[in-house]
Chain A
Amino acid sequence: MSNKKYKKLTPTQQEYQRFAKEREPKRSVLFNIAKAFLVGGTICTIGQGLQMFFVTYFNFTEKTAGNPTVAVLIFASALLTGLGVYDHIAQWGGAGTAVPVTGFANTVTSAAIEHRSEGYVLGVGGNMFKIAGPVIVFGVFSAFVVAIIKIAVQVLGGVK
Chain B
Amino acid sequence: MEKFIWAFIIGGLICVIGQIMMDVFKLTPAHTMTTLVVAGAVLGGLGLYEPLLEFAGAGASVPISSFGNSLVKGALSEAESTGIVGVLTGIFEVTSAGISAAVIFGFMASLIFRPKG
Question: Interface on A for B, CB 8 Å cutoff?
Answer: 27, 29, 32-33, 35-45, 47-52, 62, 66-71, 73-75, 78-79, 81-84, 87, 94-96, 98-105, 107-109, 111-114, 116-117, 120, 124, 128, 131-132, 134-136, 138-140, 142-144, 146-151
A100 pairs with B15, CB closer than 8 A:
yes
**In the bound complex, how far is the Cα of B30 from the Cα of A41, in angstroms?**
20
A99 pairs with B64, CB closer than 8 A:
yes
Q: How far is the CB of A28 from chain B (nearest CB, A)?
A: 9
B102 pairs with A105, CB closer than 8 A:
yes
Contacting A at CB under 8 A, from B46-69, are 53, 57-59, 61-68
**In the bound complex, how far is the Cα of B57 from the Cα of A138, in angstroms?**
24
Interface residues of A, dominant DSSP: helix
Number of interface residues of B (CB under 8 A): 73
A109 pairs with B106, CB closer than 8 A:
yes
A and B contact pairs by CB, cutoff 8 A, 6 listed: A47-B7, A66-B66, A78-B109, A95-B29, A100-B64, A108-B106
Chain A positions within 8 Å of B105 at CB level: 74-75, 78-79, 105, 109
Interface residues of B, dominant DSSP: helix
Chain A positions within 8 Å of B37 at CB level: 135, 138-139, 142
B71 pairs with A44, CB closer than 8 A:
no
Chain A positions within 8 Å of B53 at CB level: 66
CB closest chain-A residue, reference B67: A139
A116 pairs with B18, CB closer than 8 A:
no
